[in-house]
Structure 1
Amino acid sequence: MTTPATRTEVVDAADQSRMRPLPLKIHPHPDETTRSFLHRLETANALHPGQLRKTLRRARRPWIETLAAWTGDNPQVLSLAMPQLRQRNETAVPRSKLVGRPDRTILGTACRHCALARGAGRYVEIYTTHERVICPRHGLWIGDGIQGFTDQLPILACPDIIAAWHHHKNLITRHSRSRVRKAFHISSVINWRWYDQFHHFTHAIEIYDALAADQPRHSQSQAMVAASLYPSIVSLTATIASPFWARIAHSRHPNAFLDRISDEVTDGWQPRGAFDSLRHWMDTDWQPTFKGADIVGSPGSTRYGLRPRPLPQLTAERHMQQGLNCGKSH
């Protein structure tokens, strides 16, 4: 007859067996999702898909302890590498090591060349930040429109994209990450809506043509369209993020703002009408809302605690609808 004490011993023995090191150990890619890491761990050890996740759910220990036993990595190393583990166990990493670090909240894919160089294979799913749309080391687009490593397209044929990325980072330094993140989202909504209406303006078309000539197999991809629009999105972001130009945009005399947009983004055309996406923002001053902090705060701060939540890659219509909904809420 099995007594309660015996049953406890059996459970403890099974729990201990789950803590044994796996034959082949792999290390996490920076900012990798637990789903991606477990998939790579299962593939390396020829396990059935989902087998390790089931084991983690049955175990009576924190995930980070079991993963550390399987891989041989220090729990603090795993926690620093994977934001989701910090969410599950905030005591695993001293807060002082994370203060000021941008919060990773957007689901994306790591540069395939960087992933291969780290021995992680070609496809690694990561949590990232809104400005990490290119890999500057390998010249690949890894931003909007990327579903897998085959969608990552070379952008070295278009230096304007790289220049826009540097401009994007400078805007964050100048205006703060939170302000630029909101302005970038608003600008994306507006530019994608314009693209839906009339396939955008000369600058974006020239970038698209250059990318299509260099990478014809990507010519119909959403990633190529997103990369082509990126410099225009950053240009509009710079104006929206500026407190000076934002005040003019929402004033009774926005002509100076419209002239600036006409010169820098829209080829001399000025948006008109209540149904235009830019005029809608000017009239309503709608603002997107994001869950979680933009950066990690100091110990004891309510801004601390990385809570990565994937933001879906929105199509142009969903971008616009979100903007209209935000406008109604104001």
Structure 2
Amino acid sequence: MSPRFEPVVFRPLPRPLKPFPQETESSFLNRLATANAIPVQRLRQPSRWLTSRLDPIDQLSVLSGQPRTVFQYAIPRWENKSWNVSNGPLALTPRWACRRCVARRTGNPQQDVMVWMSKHHDQVCIPHRLWIGRAVENTARQLDLTDLPEVVQAQRRHYRLLRRRGPATIAACYEHCSAFWHSLFQRGYRLSDRAERLRRLSPNDRQVRPWEPQRYAAVYPEIVEAMSLYASPHWRSLALFRERFELFRAEFNRRLPQESALRTTARQWFLTELIRTALRIERSIEAAELKVIVAHHQHEASTP
């Protein structure tokens, strides 16, 4: 008996297109539609009167002229929806891919691609020395870091910390150390290195708003330095014990010496915030570990 015939109600488009690694579904569909000069709605519903039994990935495989394995390799979250998490250690979020990576892979320097990226850990494209992370609203705002090798080196160090300490610890450290530095600068904490980087990124720094990428890039090396201190269980424990807190404070000041002393009203806040930051990080790590334990028990309970 011959197998049942299941017609495909659409055919490959004239211009095939490969997905970009970790590309979002909407980004790929928009690029495919643009390349073939058709409305993107036609890709989501190729036929108005017939339905296909192919799943969405197989449909895209037919339309784009690419094997299914290409999508499985480039965009694993399409195959496994649980791969994409909006919170937790990786905290994946849609961001613009490095414009130079896109130009090299696609051959089109004008093409923009949106990819899934960690909002905590992916801040710099190391090969192309571009700031691609926080506050980059479009590819034109991806800052060239050629003259700021210390910012690129900070990303390398960030990845080393991630491999050594794990995503739960480093995600907590990045989140709370970033907030700590933001509050410090609001209270008059000054670093000569940060000021020099900001000057090189924007000669007239008074025109740079607080939420623009220049300000985040300028302080990124200091954030990573603080992360390395708080990620260490030894130093974090010293911050949490009043009898040994002075050792932690001295190490913080040694690694991150301030250009001028804080105002009287901010001094006590600074000392208290050093301890609170350690406590917030400790609690975040414990919460992340508890989630893993609960998920493990739920998986065991659901396994026959």
TM-score in terms of structure 2 length: 0.76
Query: 1:256 is aligned with what amino acid?
Result: L
Structure 1 residues 104 and 248: alpha-carbon distance in aligned structure 2, compared to 1, 3 A threshold? closer
Determine which structure has greater relative contact order: mean sequence separation of CA pairs < 8 Å that are 6+ residues apart, divided by chain length. 1
Against the structure 1 CA distance between its residues 144 and 69, is the aligned structure 2 distance closer, same or farther, given a 3 Å change threshold? same
- Hey, what's the Cα distance between the residues in 2 that align with 1:279 and 1:260? 13
Is this contact kept in 1: 2:9–2:52, CA < 8 A?
Answer: no
| Separation of aligned partners in 1, 2:19 and 2:39 | 20
Please name the residue that 2:302 is paired with: none
What is the Cα-based RMSD across aligned positions, in Å?
Answer: 3.4
| Amino acid corresponding to residue 173 of structure 1 in structure 2 | R
C-alpha distance in 1 between matches for 2:180 and 2:47: 44
Q: Which runs of 5+ in 2 are unaligned?
A: 84-88, 293-297, 300-304
Q: Secondary structure at the match of 2:159?
A: helix
Q: Aligned match of 1:126 in 115, 124, 137? A: 115
Match of 1:151 among 141, 146, 151: 141
| Match of residue 31 from structure 2 | 40
Could you tell me which residue of structure 2 aligns to residue 21 of structure 1? 12
How far has the Cα of 1:169 moved from its partner?
1.9
SS at match of 2:221: helix
Amino acid at match of 2:114: E
1:25/1:139 CA distance change after superposition, 3 Å: same
Equivalent residue number for residue 53 of structure 1? 44
Say whether residues 1:84 and 2:77 are aligned partners: yes
- How many Å apart are 1:290 and its aligned residue? 6.8
Equivalent position of 1:308 in the other structure:
none
Alignment partner of 2:250: what SS? helix
1:1-12 matches, within 5 Å, as: none
**2:86 counterpart residue number:** none
Q: TM-score normalised to the size of structure 1?
A: 0.71
Q: How has the CA–CA distance of structure 1 residues 275 and 61 changed in structure 2, closer, same or farther, with 3 Å as cutoff? A: farther
Corresponding residue for residue 250 of structure 1: 240
- Cα 1:149–1:103 change in 2 (3 A) is same
Paired residues of 2:90 and 2:167 also in contact (CA < 8 A)? no
Q: How far has the Cα of 1:206 moved from its partner?
A: 1.6
Q: What is the aligned length?
A: 269
- Determine the structure 2 residue equivalent to 1:4: none
Report sequence identity in percent: 24
Change (3 A) 1:196 1:66: farther
CA contact (8 A) 1:32 1:83 kept: no
Conservation of the 8 A alpha-carbon contact between 1:56 and 1:66? no
Provide, for residues 276-301 of structure 1, a one-character-per-residue CA deviation record: whole Å limited to 9, x for no partner: 6444324554427679x99xxxxxx9
